[in-house]
Amino acid sequence: MKDIFKKYKLVIKFIVSFAVVYGLMTLSYKFYLDLSDGSKYYPDYVTNLVAKQSKLLINGLGYKAEIAPHEMEPSMKLIINNKFVARVVEGCNSVSVIILFLSFVMAFSASVKSTFLFGLAGSVLIYAINLFRIAVLSIGLYRYPWRSDLLHTVVFPLIIYGLVFVLWMLWVYYYSKQQKSYVKSA
């Protein structure tokens, strides 16, 4: 058993680090959501902000977008040209995806500075692409409502999770180059 741990030490370290970071960040986010009472920012601050920014982006693309709190559930209704097309729910705000991304980056960490900078840049990129994704999805649902299943369950998750995968691969490539230069200098 000791030989197995020795042989797979790096893999075990990665899995444990990922699980701990993911668990802590997820619990922190759940704690944040539990504290959000929805009185000022409905349903919570980040989801509300994403809805507002998506509305601005859609308006910038030449459509008349509006948002309104949903009466039946904790979400924001997204309305284009007076037609209700989508709900912006907590799962649409990209926080869970950013937590997943950061957990991997931190578990496969390099120097504190490069890990922080890559994590920050990747998180901002994920957030921005998510806003673009919501805007394009909403316009797609407005223009092609019969394609809602394809757009919402295949195309747009592929965009956000594809981006995370590409960022992870860039991080592994960068990290492995950094490790090689560290080994050569030692």
pLDDT at 168: 95
For the residues of 58-105, what is the DSSP string, one character each?
A: HHHTT--EEEEE-SSSSSEEEEETTEEEEEE-GGGSSHHHHHHHHHHH
Contact 42, 59 (CB under 8 A): no
Contact 87, 70 (CB under 8 A): yes
pLDDT at 182: 53
pLDDT at 151: 87
pLDDT at 104: 95
Q: How far apart are CA 148 and CA 167, in angstroms?
A: 27
Contact 101, 166 (CB under 8 A): no
Contact 68, 82 (CB under 8 A): no
Give the position of tokens 């921005």. Answer: 128
Q: Which of 26, 44, 28 is nearest to 36 (CA)?
A: 44
pLDDT at 155: 87
pTM above 0.75, yes or no: yes
pLDDT at 116: 94
Residue by residue, pLDDT tens for the chain (186 residues) are 788 888 888 889 999 999 999 999 999 999 999 887 666 788 999 999 999 999 999 999 999 999 999 999 999 999 999 999 999 999 999 999 999 999 999 998 878 899 999 999 999 999 999 999 999 999 999 999 999 889 888 988 899 999 999 999 999 988 766 665 554 555
Q: Which of 88, 85, 47 is nearest to 63 (CA)?
A: 85
